Amino acid sequence: MTRRTDWAEYTHPVAAQGQWNRGDSGAVGDDEGAGGPPPGDGDAHEGTPPLGDGGARRGRRRGRRRGVGAAAGDSQDGGSSFSSRAEEGESSGDPAERARAICLRLLTGTPRTRKQLADALRKREIPEDVADEVLSRFEEVGLIDDGAFADAWVESRHHGRGLARRALARELRTKGVDSALIDEAVGQLDAEQEEATARELVARKLRATRGLDRDKRLRRLAGMLARKGYSEGMALRVVRQALAEEGEDTEGLDETF
């Protein structure tokens, strides 16, 4: 049984301070991928991009997000001491101590979902009942918060990579986030915001397609939006409008791509 006194030192490591590696720019990125597989035991976070200034409801759970894994005022020295304790704990013979140490190491510098941490503990052969107890306690003290993770993921990946709601939901499912939390997180984005981002993405790619024939331009630009999770209807509408604004004759353009 885990001693309650064991937990005081684990309440606020500098585990996810900053949470996402934010930059100074809020521009939508040019990469066309919709994200890779979820990280496992010891994997680095997959390059979460900077946040933008779009219309998502960023203030809705901002205070809660700041609390995921770190107190706002924690210092870098505090993070180093927790990291050292985590490394020492991984060699412990006590499975609960090992589980706590593994989770702390994985949470240092980046947030994780409960499923990601559970998968990591399973790989390290931590007994399931011990892992469940440790993970539940981490949730109680705020070191794991899948709802806050989903909110921050949507905000970051939409404004940084231009991903649509469908792609964002797919990514969060691979990370084991509950469907209700996914729905709430992607609900930050409405159709108007999504279309505005699609237009920005097309505007950034449009120049590179000049010189191609009209149908090829349509397929290339609409395909880029489709890979980012935008619906076929929205992709075609946005691209056709962008081509028309450049003076292209859009009459009779392919209805599909």
Residue 33 CB partners (closer than 8 Å, separation 6+): 161, 227
What is the pLDDT, as a whole number, of residue 21? 41
The pTM score is: 0.69
Q: What number of H helices and E strands is found in the chain?
A: 11, 0
What is the pLDDT, as a whole number, of residue 40? 40
Mean pLDDT of the chain: 76
pLDDT in tens, 115-148: 999 999 999 999 999 999 999 999 999 999 999 9
Look at phi and psi of residue 33 and say left if phi exceeds 0, alpha if psi is from -120 to 50, else beta. beta
Single-letter amino acid code for the residue at 225: L
Most confident of 2-16, 66-80, 82-96, 150-164: 150-164
pLDDT in tens, 209-233: 998 988 899 999 999 999 999 999 9
DSSP letters, 149-164, are HHHHHHHHHHHHH---
Of 10 and 255, more confident: 255
Strands (E), the chain: none
